[in-house]
Amino acid sequence: MFHFFQSFLLAIFLPILSLGSVQVEEPQPVVILGGGVGSLTSALYLGRAGLHPLVIEGPVPGGLLTQSYTVQNWPGEMEIKGAALTDKMKEQAQANGAHFLNEEVIQVDFSTRPFAITTRTLDGSGKEHQIYAASCIIAMGTKPNFLGIPGESEYWGKGVTNCAICDGSLYKDKVVGVVGGGDAAVLEALYLSNIAREVYVFVRTDKLTGVEGTRVRALLDKPNVHLQYHAVVEEVKGDGESVVGVRLKVGGRSQEVKLDGFFLAIGSTPNSQMFQKALTLDQKGYIVLTSDQETSVKGVYAIGDIVDPVYKQAVSAAGDGAKAALQVQQYLSDRQNKLVVQKTSHRETKKVHISKEVIEIHSTSQFHNELASSGVPVVVDFYATWCGPCKKVSPLLDHSAVRLAGKVKFLKVNVDKLSDLSSSYNVKSMPTVVLFDAQGAELERKVGLEQITELLKKLQPE
């Protein structure tokens, strides 16, 4: 009976799904919002069930786990990099029939059937699309918190960051600080202790609260790690170009600590703002579940950190993902006599041929030659192969290089291979994109996916 239902379902939906170089037409049997571990697990289960789920990855493919340099508590893996783990999971999901769309969700409407999901491209063009779905799994996780203190935003990307795995290599043999007292702070400090000369950890309370006891003990044993308890960071100090330290209040007394870099590890907030009118949320913004992973709307499920204020583990998100996938299968099966839905809109996404016009720099002399001989403005991407956000920026630059061929030159610099070059341009965080004029003078620089996307959008022809 299930095979009949599956064939009937796919006969309706799959003729209007084509994802060669990412085309989407609606409706879809199931759409997954987010690209982290929970999402990838749901995609695997639903793909193996023959439902060909569509995963809208959002701005951080692989989720926050990609920022973990090492994962040691994933079953079956003694140790693995977070990005490597999510890459393997995505490859497995794709092999089983899942499809991935490189866009972000900006609006949902769960009041009609099929559900309406509005997405926007991440190439700087700002194009919006409508996707319709018979069911939906929300796996959009959380976003890091900020202190909201003087100097924090001013020096963001100039020494202030929230990703040790992305930016840690820039602080080799330097002095850095980490603020926070939970598992995230412990992991960041441990990673940085193997790179930086000294690591200061600023803890607001009287102890570390990380649940990973082994890691806490390992951190306490590090001779180059200095913990300061009852420490409240009040200001990030800088010289106009880079971070030079922080001002603290410890036990009611102010003091300054000289630093080259400052890492935030102070928790996160669920990415649930767009669901405030669509679903029931709790007081902290987490999506409320009614039955297993089902939300207040039938056919809509939520998984991972966006529903979990307590555990926030990759393995628990994966468990959520498996349960939600099984619930979706049952939900669609129960509705098999109501599967034929009227299409309320239609869109076509043309295939875009992306040619590799971004020039990889292999030496400092090559870089200066490319800059000097350009004759047009130059965009330079400072990246690292293990940096998750950098992987998201790369296809945006490829796309822009095609559209701006002959008008703007695009270069990319691997900061690990050309550390002296990146240091000479005071690169403090990744990804960093620097725009030069036709004479090689720096015009502006942007740090992080959002800022870089805005810059590329500004460069696009009207």
What angle, 0 to 180 degrees and rounded to 10, lies between the N-to-C axes of helices 82-95 and 388-403? 60
Do strands 225-228 and 198-202 pair parallel, antiparallel, or not at all (unpaired)? Answer: parallel
d(CA 351, CA 305) in angstroms, rounded, equals 34
Find, among 183, 148, 150, 204, the residue nearest to 67 by Cα: 183
Please state, as a whole number, how many other Cβ atoms lie within 10 Å of the Cβ of residue 40. Answer: 34
Could you list the pLDDT tens digit for every one of the 462 residues in the chain? 444 445 444 444 444 444 434 445 558 999 999 999 999 999 999 999 999 999 999 988 998 888 777 788 899 999 898 889 999 999 999 999 999 998 999 999 999 889 999 999 988 788 899 999 999 999 999 988 999 999 999 998 889 998 887 788 889 999 999 999 998 899 899 999 999 999 999 999 999 987 678 889 999 999 999 999 999 999 999 999 999 999 999 988 999 999 999 999 998 899 999 999 999 999 999 999 999 999 999 999 999 999 998 778 899 999 999 999 999 999 998 886 444 333 344 334 333 333 348 999 999 999 998 888 888 899 999 998 888 788 888 888 988 888 888 889 999 999 999 999 999 999 988 899 999 998 888 999 999 888 998 898 888 776
What lies within 8 Å, CB to CB, of 199 at 6+ separation is 175, 176, 177, 178, 189, 192, 193, 222, 224, 225, 226
CA distances from 309 to 146, 280, 295, 457 (A): 17, 15, 16, 36
As annotated, the active-site residues are: 163, 166-167
Structural domains of the chain, with CATH: 2-142+269-338 (3.50.50.60), 160-264 (3.50.50.60), 359-459 (3.40.30.10)
Q: Judge whether 57 and 43 are in contact, CB under 8 Å.
A: no
Instruction: Identify the burial level of 336 via C-beta atoms within 10 angstroms of its C-beta, where 0-12 means exposed, 13-18 middle and 19 or more buried.
Output: middle
3-state secondary structure of 454: helix
What lies within 8 Å, CB to CB, of 361 at 6+ separation is 367, 370, 411, 412, 413, 414, 418, 421
